[in-house]
Structure 1
């Protein structure tokens, strides 16, 4: 699986050669008072390997893999998960109890936040464009161009790297003609709700109670916490980054955007008091960033070929 591939491609480093953000996590876990964290790590590795043997069998392997992911660049694959090195490394361990206990620990969160911030900074540089060319298997190849509908987006096929200055600039590329690429359905009633992104409807719940729980990307959320949680709550320590947008329309509509591991930057382009209409651009996701933060109110927009749309009913205003 992916974690084995990442591990095999990179030579073993001495602990002092690991990236500073990874070294900081290692040193924190090694503190005498954090013996329980070392137990969590060992137990989560054992549980994952019992389920599916991996090349990550020891804590040293685990930290090496984090370093490998930090120095990896997203690679094109029709299965977009292949472009997520951190998710590839962490996913086997996020599924078991000891892994949950480790990743939800309040002391651990800032260290993973720093690692993902370092990853974000890396993907903001020209060096992140190593696979941004038209060679077979890369992001501007004929196969990728067709699969990602790249001709619908603003880029320069003849320019180096398609004219993009960084991986994240490619990731949040704009449509040439949004109305043509993602036309809005007619709405003579002025009450139609549209999808905020290109995606599949997973579940529809009606008459939801205040204390209801939701499963979002494998995490459990309570409705009250999801919509009205203080920005500094401990609850945020075990969830992916999320951004919540409240829209005054027919009543108040809440849109909750949840990042996925390394896609952990939610960048809002609207603020309290702004007026929005169906189809307006309200923000975007980006690679890297920090986990466990929420802004209120704000919004999120596109990943590569998702639609840009506000889930408003007619013309609506952003509330605080």
Structure 2
């Protein structure tokens, strides 16, 4: 895949991953900078720890200075830390921006110095501490401040309309479990709203009596497919082939059985539904949480013009390095056999929760787990030799893939 087409890029924008334009981003950042300077708030502990890490490590200090040498959005690492400090006390609002931490880090991510710095294990461990602190706020009742019908609120008409797209005329209250008569429509926090459940009958399993069907695991947008994905490949080159040993965390027990197989990848929209469902019937054989990076894009795309949106062209690349969860499922259909569902974190959106356990039998469409705090990406990986006839409507980059839809048939 050489890069997203116009339809795919527009889906990223509509789905809440990209700013509407540069002016919108600049106004938001400048407003946050002025707000932070006026407040002069002390840095919260995990942000202060990050500042100390940067300033007490020579390589880190050099990297965090070099990544801002030609910056036009956030000017230096002190400004970055001030912005991050403020974001820890806010829930994302609906509007013309992407995920807030990604918005302030997108420019340094697109530099050689940023690539090197953001690969460091100790930096990613510190980012996790920062996002764990943010999570405390996002599961609190204070985070419902954005669950209203004011401009930027998630129950504004504009936001509601965005969340109803693809549901064939159903209203939000018909699609999702909620009570519009209650404060915050019955949601107890931002995260409670974010992991909202579908009402019974919505996105019913397609072709439930046809055993050879593979159903969509997520409400997503199709991104990419690769057949005969190699065990190891030069996943840093432009075009981003999948390198399955890295993607599957060098799992010799189950992952090695999938080398040379097929990868189907889609991304979830910030405005969408964020729970995962089993694409096959079978038994959960293994669940692996893989720590990884948060803000690394493909090195083949470093220093690209910002308008090319290099990070969103890097989704195949990040399957190998980002925080993710692997759920291996042994299908009861021998024509499918072992396969793997992979939940893939994107930027600050990296909290994966499995709601199944090893040894549990699942039916097609049963819930597997969920993403917290934001939309993300996912992959389905099938063994070599599994002959799948894919539904063409769901394999066009930018196409909406409805959860539990019949996306392929094993021949």
TM-score range, shorter chain: 0.7 to 0.9
Q: Distance in 2 between the 1:278 and 1:94 partners?
A: 38
Q: Specify the alignment match of 2:191 in structure 1.
A: 168
Are residue 21 (structure 1) and residue 42 (structure 2) matched?
no
Q: Specify the alignment match of 1:129 in structure 2.
A: 144
Is the 2:36–2:83 contact (alpha carbons within 8 Å) kept by the matching residues of 1? no
Q: 1:254 is paired with a residue of what secondary structure?
A: strand
Q: Distance in 2 between the 1:278 and 1:122 partners?
A: 34
Q: Specify the alignment match of 1:292 in structure 2.
A: none
Give a deviation string over 1:261-314, Cα, whole Å, max 9, x none. 2221100001111111111111100028xxxxxxxxxxxxxxxx9965599999
Distance 1:213 1:275, change over 3 A: farther
Q: Distance in 2 between the 1:7 and 1:114 partners?
A: 26
Are residue 277 (structure 1) and residue 357 (structure 2) matched?
no
TM-score by length of 1: 0.78
Q: Specify the alignment match of 1:57 in structure 2.
A: 75
Give a deviation string over 1:140-195, Cα, whole Å, max 9, x none. 12232232132211111111111111100000011112x3x213222554111122
Give a deviation string over 1:188-239, Cα, whole Å, max 9, x none. 5411112211222222211222113558xx9986310221437798966864
Give a deviation string over 1:17-45, Cα, whole Å, max 9, x none. 111110011011111xx111111111111
Q: Specify the alignment match of 1:246 in structure 2.
A: 328
User: Where do 5+ consecutive residues of structure 2 fail to align?
Assistant: 1-21, 165-171, 252-287, 297-320, 375-399
- Compute the displacement of 1:74 (Å): 0.5
TM-score by length of 2: 0.62
- Compute the displacement of 1:136 (Å): 3.7
User: Where do 5+ consecutive residues of structure 1 fail to align?
Assistant: 289-304, 315-320
Name the stretch that deviates more: 96-105 or 146-155.
Answer: 146-155
Residues 93-112 of structure 1: pairs in structure 2 closer than 5 A = 93-112=108-127
Residues 289-304 of structure 1: pairs in structure 2 closer than 5 A = none
Q: Specify the alignment match of 1:39 in structure 2.
A: 62
Q: Distance in 1 between the 2:292 and 2:323 partners?
A: 12
Q: Specify the alignment match of 1:229 in structure 2.
A: 250
Q: Distance in 2 between the 1:5 and 1:234 partners?
A: 31
Q: Specify the alignment match of 1:302 in structure 2.
A: none
Name the stretch that deviates more: 5-14 or 93-102.
Answer: 5-14
- Compute the displacement of 1:125 (Å): 0.4
Q: Distance in 1 between the 2:292 and 2:140 partners?
A: 33
Q: Distance in 2 between the 1:213 and 1:185 partners?
A: 37
Q: 1:270 is paired with a residue of what secondary structure?
A: coil
Q: Distance in 2 between the 1:121 and 1:74 partners?
A: 14
Name the stretch that deviates more: 68-77 or 112-121.
Answer: 68-77
Distance 1:187 1:202, change over 3 A: same
Higher RCO (Cα < 8 Å, 6 or more apart): 2
Q: Distance in 2 between the 1:252 and 1:272 partners?
A: 14
What RMSD over aligned residues (CA atoms) do the two structures have, in Å?
3.1
Name the stretch that deviates more: 94-103 or 4-13.
Answer: 4-13
Are residue 68 (structure 1) and residue 68 (structure 2) matched?
no
- Compute the displacement of 1:87 (Å): 1.2
Structure with the largest fraction of strand: 2
Is the 1:155–1:164 contact (alpha carbons within 8 Å) kept by the matching residues of 2? yes
